[in-house]
Chain A
Amino acid sequence: MDQLRMTPLHQWHLGQGANMARFGSYDMPLWYPAGARAEHLAVIEAAGIFDTSHMAVIGLDGDGARDLLQRCFTKDLDRCQGRDKGPLAIGRCVYGVFLAAAGAVIDDAIVYRLAETAWMVVVNAGMGPVVAGHLESQGGSGVRISDCGDQLGKMDIQGPLAARILAKVLHDPGPVLADMVYFSCKGGFGELQTPVPVRLNDGTPLLLSRTGYTGEFGFELFVAADRIVPLWQTVLAAGEEFGLLPCGLAARDSLRTGAVLPLSHQDIGPWPFVNNPWLFTLPWDGGGTAFTKEFIGASALRDDPGDAYTLPFAGFDPRKITVGKDTFVTDRQGDTIGQVLTCATDMAIDRVGEVIVSVATPPAEGRPADFRPRGLSCGFIKVNRPLAAGATVSITDGRRQIRVEIRTDIRPHRSARHPITSML
């Protein structure tokens, strides 16, 4: 097994009494003393911070960078922004995947356009060398690829009060935050720079991105590795009056699952990227039938769409199964039709009659006055047939069997896309 790695915040996590566990090659906090439930709810009702320094960042620079990304990344960078599908502008970013030639997922990523010919690619823990190597193997002339590796400090602040907390720690926050639309970025650190500088009150430069992995409103903050501990402590102190909590991987997993976001190498992975909830990352033309560009993996997706279907589900109570090699999906006849990829409990939701309601659901849209969610199990299954939303199947680990409903969405009334003007 690889050597256990630590982020610069590792000592802080231990000092707080976090329950730690191995994630990839990193020793990461699962939850802090407040517990995963409180952390999950804080991100939906107030705000939470996450140590995401284990993520990997790759820089691409040069005239050939756009063409290389167009060849390797699923999103069409010339036709992906806004309603009119314009080119990705400087200071904007987009989510997509890197595929191998057979259509399997190498990793998912957010690609940032920092400057005319400078790009940043954020991939999962431990995937920096893999994705950088893939890009290098496909690279033509005119592009410099740098795996930023351990130079990176990164934290996410997520939740409806994130901007108000951030405003307390940023230098001149008004102009910085005023126009930060969903999937935009500003500032920079090290060699990764956008045209608009962003600094903390103490002068620390940072790259600020209005993105996240919780489905809730918020930001990802990138700084030099040696600046992350003071940044974390500054944000934590600023957020105290707002109910900000440090959050571990358990809350991150339950939040992202409820938001129907995949975990790379678990919900997407070494099988063809077809028939799943994330096909919006493919470069569809207006009719949704053909691709607007050629890219690695495209012909495999076109020629062999396969017979595996990845679908979101939600249960009827908090009961879940622990996913392993013996967890299966069965149909009404009891026949095995697939496997369970993720099974978590979204602790902010429950069923009110037929409808799933969240603590964030406005009363006018169905949240009862005395709503106290027990939580619902939810996740993703990969089955051998298409199933319509509303259909029910069973998931089982051989010991217990749980009936779950196929869904198009799980946790309602998420805040990720709320206009920033309403969040300040």
Chain B
Amino acid sequence: MKDLSELDFPETVRYTEDHEWAAVDGETVRIGVSDYAQDQLGDIVYVEMPEIGDIFEKGDEFGTLESVKAVSEIYMPVGGEVVAVNEALVDTPELINQDPYGAWIVEIRVTDVGEYDELMSAEDYLEMLRG
């Protein structure tokens, strides 16, 4: 398990208590899991993703990450409609381990931009991890 100082927490994305990240990309928001999450889970071997058009509220479970250790649910940092899923993860789920902030899982059109602003900054997230 890596020390927190060895993990990457870019300031360009925002974080949830469940270790997802969200990043504004033009009109939409991309969502993935943090470096801390992938390090805790170990090798990701399968990603279950929603369908394009699915609508979720903030906090809804929208998929699962299958690691060597366990099956982990992933939750929506913000509510919205899925406009894209990262098809690359179907054949190469290990991209999440290799590049957790490049390997987005879903892209959504947000319902309420205010929800994004409520997410944690990198500094706050790191503070939470330090306990």
Q: Which residues of A contact B (CB under 8 A)?
A: 17-20, 30-31, 33, 35-38, 250-251, 254, 317-322, 345, 347, 374-375, 397, 400
Contact = CB atoms under 8 A, between A and B. Distances in A.
B75 to A, nearest CB: 14
Contacts of B39: 19
A400 B66 contact: no
Chain A contact surface mostly: loop
Contact of A321 (B42, B45, B71): B71
A375 to B, nearest CB: 5
Nearest to B61: A399
A28 to B, nearest CB: 13
A317 B66 CA distance: 11
B70 interface: yes
A317 B97 CA distance: 19
Contact of A319 (B6, B40, B48, B70): B48
Contact of A250 (B6, B42, B71, B94): B42
Interface of B: 1-3, 6, 39-40, 42-43, 45-46, 48, 64, 66, 68-71, 91, 94, 97
Contacts of B40: 19
A19 B64 contact: no
Given A250-B68, A400-B64, A17 B1 contact: yes
A317 B68 contact: no
A30 B66 contact: no
A175 B69 CA distance: 41
A318 B42 contact: no
B71 A254 contact: no
A33 B64 CA distance: 23
A347 B45 contact: yes
B1 A19 contact: yes
B45 A375 contact: yes
B69 A250 contact: yes
Chain B contact surface mostly: mixed
Given A37-B94, A317-B46, A375-B45, A254 B2 contact: no
Contacts of B42: 19, 30-31, 35-36, 250
Nearest to B94: A37
A318 B40 CA distance: 19
A322 B46 contact: no
B54 to A, nearest CB: 17
Contacts of B91: 374
Given A17-B1, A20-B1, A35-B97, A319 B46 contact: yes
Nearest to B48: A319
Contacts of A31: 42-43, 68
A263 to B, nearest CB: 16
B41 to A, nearest CB: 10
Nearest to A31: B42
Nearest to A38: B43
A37 B69 CA distance: 11
Question: What 8 A-B pairs are tightest by C-beta distance, nearest first?
Answer: A36-B68, A37-B43, A318-B46, A318-B45, A35-B43, A19-B1, A250-B68, A322-B70
Contacts of A320: 66, 71
Contacts of A347: 43, 45, 68
A20 B1 CA distance: 7
Contacts of A17: 1-3, 6
Contacts of B64: 400
Given A30-B69, A375-B45, 14 more contacts: A18-B1, A19-B1, A36-B68, A36-B69, A250-B42, A250-B69, A319-B46, A320-B71, A321-B71, A345-B68, A347-B43, A374-B91, A397-B71, A400-B71
